[in-house]
Amino acid sequence: MSSRRCNFCRERSNEKRCMGCRQARYCSSHCQVADWTTHKSCCVPTYVIDSSVAMRSERKAVNYALSKWIARWRKTIHKYAENAFDVSNNSSSILQTHVVTIRMEGKMSHKDDTDRFLIQRGLLLPVDGIAELLWGLEAPNELITRLQNDLDANRKVDDVATSTGRVVIQYEELLLRLLRFPLRQEGLEKSVSAAHASSWEADLINTIDART
């Protein structure tokens, strides 16, 4: 019997796996649907640009290391990514139309997996600009369509869409990750929000550099 447990009811299970993060397991469709409200905040879809690379040990090691890096820095990324949206001056509708993108590169030397990556650039882009970014990387059409559909799902006007930000993390030409986070810093003065927005990229890079 598998030692894996259902992410919802905690019974032993190996029947279903989340198609987004490929990590959470469930004993039934009922448990998977019931757990989505909680699981969606930590579900990190992995999009593989080159499927032929996916099975190589080096690619798998990088994927694992990136997962550990994101796990360590998720809260920090969410904090400064939220600043990028400048909601006080743009309204929460910007969460539907834009996404933060963070381009990563590997370090020449590092202590461990959580110190393996550097942030090369951070941008706030329109959702439609993500497809343009992927075309520039010569990503397969199906990858562009899949990620674009995932991002477009947030365009529906409801309480979730207008209170959830998205971050796309790109590592060289190998991996893309999509993170979601809840809006927390509501009610900031417009001048404070604008100041945070103008420096979010440098603040994020400096904070991570100072702790590694």
Q: What is the pTM of this model?
A: 0.66
Whether 12 and 24 share a structural domain: yes
Is residue 10 domain-shared with residue 64, that is, in the same domain? no
Task: Dump strand ranges (E) for 54-174.
Answer: 98-106, 117-126, 164-171
Clarify whether residues 2 and 84 are in a common domain.
no
**Same domain, yes or no, for 91 and 27?**
no
Number of domain units in the chain: 2
**What is the pLDDT, as a whole number, of residue 122?**
93
**Integer angstrom CA distances of residue 60 from 52, 139, 178:** 12, 19, 18
Per-residue pLDDT of the chain (212 residues; tens, 9 = 90+): 445 778 888 777 666 777 777 677 888 888 888 888 777 766 766 554 444 444 466 777 888 888 889 989 999 999 999 999 998 898 778 888 888 999 888 877 777 777 788 899 999 988 877 766 665 655 556 666 766 676 666 555 444 445 788 898 888 766 778 888 887 766 789 999 999 999 999 999 999 988 87
So what's the pLDDT on residue 1? 40
Residues 53 and 115 in one domain: yes
Q: Are residues 107 and 35 in the same domain?
A: no
> What is the domain range of residue 30?
1-42
36 and 79 part of one domain: no
Same domain, 28 and 48: no
Residues 126 and 186 in one domain: yes
Positions of E strands within 74-154: 98-106, 117-126
Residues 34 and 48 in one domain: no
Pair (112, 159) in one structural domain:
yes
How confident is the model at residue 161, as a pLDDT? 45
Residue pair 150/15 in contact by the 8 Å Cβ criterion:
no
Cβ–Cβ < 8 Å for 154, 140: no
Q: Would you state the pLDDT for residue 32?
A: 84
Tokens 């927005």 belong to which residue? 197
**Which amino acid does the sequence have at 206?**
N
